Amino acid sequence: MEKDNILEVKGLHKRFTSKNVTVRAVTDVSFSVKEGETIGIVGESGCGKTTLGRCIVRAYGASEGEVFYRTKEGEELDFLKADKKKMKDIRKDIQMIFQDPYSSLDPRMTVLDIIKEPLRANYPNMSKAEMDQRAKDMAAKVGLNPTYLMRYPHAFSGGQRQRIGIARALVINPRIIVCDEAVSALDVSIQAQVINLLKDLQKEFKLTYIFISHDLSVVEHISDKVGVMYLGRLVEYGSTEDIFAHPKHPYTEALMSAVPVADPTYRRERIPLKGEIPNPANPPSGCYFHTRCRYCTEKCSLETPEYREVEPGHFVACSRCGEIELTGFDYSLLNKAD
């Protein structure tokens, strides 16, 4: 494990088996995260983003692979093999914000109880008064009015509920937060409030985010690095600018060209993706993307491309990388409007 990495995922696999069907939800995913960074994970629905996030917090047990985590004391731990006692310690450091603010809060608990719950679970010896105090402080920090904390979740709007979810994740001072589509269910004006909040909190607490989203413009705004997933595999990983402006994988290129840009004068070539994401229970041979790829050759359908570093910090899983010329966003055209 490298020195300044806080998290290293190596060869992570997750398979779901039912009767005689095996779905490979996550296949051989590796990446590393530095402290204080934001990693965006993007891809179409069903590509394994959420499963990856849940494997990282160990809500699902991974089928294979390792997730190394560096504790505050500098100790390296394999997160997936840690015993129960160790696990309890690490859980305090890795928290999750869920997608749907309507179903992730217990309707029968008051907001104060919801925010207090991680404290109750992780610090059984803490006094009630202190728990209340910490929960209230955190609520104030995320912009919830402390006088409303005795209410139940149904009395809050979507944006407020998402703040409750954020307060719950932050109350035990975690170091890593996995945000699974944390802003997707919100309206744009509320989305902006929550994104600003997440960024402020990151600065204040030096948080590391793993930001899972299908909304590419949000990911571009918030992330330092981006990983693109397709059918359970990480096909490209690199700095945000590299991924958006100089994609090296045909799938990333197509994905970027499909993003709607809020500027009617910006015109560009659309690269249509034929068909839909294949069934993960029965993935295509060779490169998973070859059925929809416009640069596909015979070799692609036979060999699984290696996931390799083509430039410092830029990883791609495409055997034709280097041979083909791909286009991303033209930043100079986009900035013209400002």
Partner 1 sequence: MEKDNIIEVKDLHVDIKMLEGLLTPVRGVNFEIKKGETLGLVGESGCGKSITCKAILGINEKKCVPHGEIMFRTTDDEEIDLLSLNPRGKEIRDIRGKQISMIFQEPMVAFSPMYTIGNQINECTLLHITKDKKKAKEITLEVMRKVGIANVEKRYKQYPHEFSGGMLQRALIAMALVCYPKLLIADEPTTALDVTIQAQILELMKELQKEFNMAILFITHDLGVVANMCDRVAVMYLGRIVETGDAKTIYANPQHPYTRGLMGSVHKIGGRKDERLFSIEGTVPLAMNLPKACGFYDRCDARIEGLCDKAEPELVEIEPGHKIACFNCQNPACLAHREAAMKQIKEDEAKAAAEAEENAKGGKKRGKR
Q: Least separation, in Å, of the C-beta of 230 and partner 1? A: 11
Q: Which residue's CB is nearer to partner 1, number 108 or number 274?
A: 274
What is the arrangement of strands in the sheet containing 21-34, beginning at the earlier edge strand?
Answer: 21-34, 5-18, 64-70, 76-78
Q: Give yes or no for residue 74 binding partner 1 (CB under 8 A).
A: no
d(CA 114, CA 168): 7
Contact region with partner 1 (CB under 8 A), list: 17-25, 106-114, 182-190, 318-326: 182-190
Q: Least separation, in Å, of the C-beta of 62 and partner 1? A: 25
d(CA 118, CA 115): 7
**Tokens representing 198?**
């997440």
Q: Which residue's CB is nearer to partner 1, number 80 or number 194?
A: 194
CA angle 210, 327, 311 (to 5 degrees): 60
Q: Which residue's CB is nearer to partner 1, number 49 or number 134?
A: 49
Q: Give yes or no for residue 35 binding partner 1 (CB under 8 A).
A: no
Candidates 218, 291, 294; CA nearest to 259 is 218
**Tokens representing 309?**
């570093």
Q: Least separation, in Å, of the C-beta of 69 and partner 1? A: 27
Q: Give yes or no for residue 220 binding partner 1 (CB under 8 A).
A: yes
Cα–Cα distances in Å, from 139 out to 142, 165, 294? 5, 10, 50
Distance of CA 208 to the CA centre of its chain: 11
Q: Give yes or no for residue 263 binding partner 1 (CB under 8 A).
A: yes
Q: Give yes or no for residue 204 binding partner 1 (CB under 8 A).
A: no
Cα–Cα distances in Å, from 215 out to 78, 127, 180, 255, 283? 31, 42, 12, 11, 25
Q: Least separation, in Å, of the C-beta of 10 and partner 1? A: 28
Candidates 59, 259, 281, 302: give the one binding partner 1 (CB under 8 A).
259
Q: Give yes or no for residue 22 binding partner 1 (CB under 8 A).
A: no
CA angle 181, 187, 190 (to 5 degrees): 90
Which residues, at least 6 apart from 43, have a Cβ–Cβ distance to it below 8 Å? 49, 214, 228, 229, 230, 255
Three-class DSSP category at 210: strand
Q: Which 144-163 residues touch partner 1, going by CB under 8 A? A: 157, 159
Q: Give yes or no for residue 319 binding partner 1 (CB under 8 A).
A: no
Q: Which residue's CB is nearer to partner 1, number 136 or number 214?
A: 214
* Neighbour count for residue 145 (Cβ, 10 Å): 10
Q: Give yes or no for residue 270 binding partner 1 (CB under 8 A).
A: yes
Site string for partner 1, 297-316 (x = CB under 8 A): --------------------
DSSP tag of 324 = B
Decide: 317 and 235 in contact? Cβ < 8 Å: yes
Q: Least separation, in Å, of the C-beta of 320 and partner 1? A: 20
CA dihedral of 211, 212, 218, 220, whole degrees rounded to 10: 70
Candidates 18, 125, 127, 335: give the one binding partner 1 (CB under 8 A).
335
Q: Which residue's CB is nearer to partner 1, number 12 or number 255?
A: 255
Q: Which residue's CB is nearer to partner 1, number 103 or number 125?
A: 103
Give the binding-site size for partner 1 (rule: CB under 8 A): 44
Q: Least separation, in Å, of the C-beta of 222 and partner 1? A: 8
Candidates 20, 16, 14; CA nearest to 56 is 14
Residues at the contact surface with partner 1, assessed by CB under 8 A: 44-45, 157, 159, 187-193, 195-196, 199, 214, 216-218, 220-221, 240, 244, 254-255, 257-266, 270, 272-273, 276, 329, 331, 334-335, 337-338
